[in-house]
């Protein structure tokens, strides 16, 4: 019975992570598929570029919340028989499922975003203090460079450093997850890294709204 509940929890996390916020909002209110415009990415950054902040900011917030809720949802299941370590592993599994859902959403042909916003939501759920230091790194790099991709990669790399240096008491599975984030997120930005090296990456600009 407990095994079935674990599987159900992980599948539920994936389905929540799969909610394609930008795609659905683009289709419903603007009659477009955001994946055919701008950078062709189904993320908040491209939504802000193409549709403006009034649309992009809500998309960002929802994507963060779905990552957070996918992990928080573990409290809705009765896992009292699991140890703290087992709960940590299950939380990591649900977090991973949510991010995979964001990148490969079942609802719209498995073509989604890069997982940054959902990773942020997951981070808030698992590392509520450390994640805000990482957000600070993102903001500083973005303000200096105006490259969202560079800011995202820099924040991801700083994440495990923050955990290991400032929060050494963090459970081992969560430390491993922080390292995985630092490896995984740059991999989803391979094309951006190539454009950065070739000085072809577009700087972040907000579309003017009339």
- pTM, entire model: 0.87
**48/209 Cα distance (integer angstroms):** 11
Q: What is the pLDDT of residues 125-184, one digit of tens each?
A: 999 999 999 999 999 999 999 999 999 999 999 999 999 999 999 999 999 999 999 999
Q: What is the DSSP letter of 34?
A: G
The predicted pLDDT at position 2 comes to 87
Look at the alpha carbons of 149, 164, 118, 134 in this order and tell me if their dihedral is positive or negative: negative
**138/110 Cα distance (integer angstroms):** 27
Q: What is the pLDDT of residues 72-128, one digit of tens each?
A: 999 888 888 899 899 999 999 999 999 999 999 999 999 999 888 999 999 999 999
DSSP track, 118-186: HHHHHHHHH-TTHHHHHHHHHHHHHHHH--HHHHHHHHHHHHHHHHHHH-TTS-HHHHHHHHHHHHHHH
CA distances from 157 to 40, 146, 150 (A): 25, 18, 11
Looking at the predicted structure, is the pLDDT value of residue 210 above 80? no
Q: What is the pLDDT of residues 65-79, one digit of tens each?
A: 999 999 999 988 888
Q: What is the pLDDT of residues 46-67, one digit of tens each?
A: 999 899 999 999 999 999 999 9
Q: How confident is the model at residue 39 (pLDDT cuts 50, 70, 90)?
A: confident
Q: What is the pLDDT of residues 127-138, one digit of tens each?
A: 999 999 999 999
The predicted pLDDT at position 205 comes to 76
- Give the start-to-end residue ranges of the domains of the chain: 2-197
Helix (H, G, I), strand (E, B) or coil at 199: coil
**Neighbouring C-beta atoms of residue 200, cutoff 10 Å:** 9
Tokens in use for 139? 């903001």
Looking at the predicted structure, is the pLDDT value of residue 187 above 80? yes
**127/159 Cα distance (integer angstroms):** 10
The predicted pLDDT at position 207 comes to 60
Match 């400032």 to its residue by tokens.
166
């Amino acid at each position: 019975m407990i095994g079935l509940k674990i599987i159900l929890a992980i599948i539920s996390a994936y389905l929540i992570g799969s909610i394609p916020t930008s795609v659905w909002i683009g289709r419903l209110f603007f009659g477009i598929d955001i994946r055919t415009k701008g950078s062709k990415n189904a993320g908040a950054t491209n939504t802000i570029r193409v549709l403006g902040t009034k649309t992009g900011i809500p998309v960002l917030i929802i994507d963060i919340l779905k990552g957070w809720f996918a992990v928080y949802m573990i409290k809705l299941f009765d896992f009292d028989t699991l140890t703290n370590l087992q709960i940590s592993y299950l939380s990591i599994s649900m977090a991973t499922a949510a991010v995979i859902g964001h990148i490969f959403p079942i609802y719209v042909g498995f073509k989604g975003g890069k997982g940054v916003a959902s990773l942020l939501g997951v981070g808030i759920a698992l590392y509520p203090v450390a994640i805000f230091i990482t957000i600070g790194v993102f903001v500083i790099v973005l303000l200096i460079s105006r490259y969202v991709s560079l800011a995202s990669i820099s924040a991801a790399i700083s994440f495990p450093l923050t955990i290991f240096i400032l929060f050494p008491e963090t459970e081992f599975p969560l430390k491993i997850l922080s390292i995985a984030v630092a490896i995984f997120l740059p991999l989803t930005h391979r094309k951006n890294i190539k454009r950065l090296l070739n000085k072809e990456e577009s700087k972040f600009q907000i579309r003017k709204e009339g």
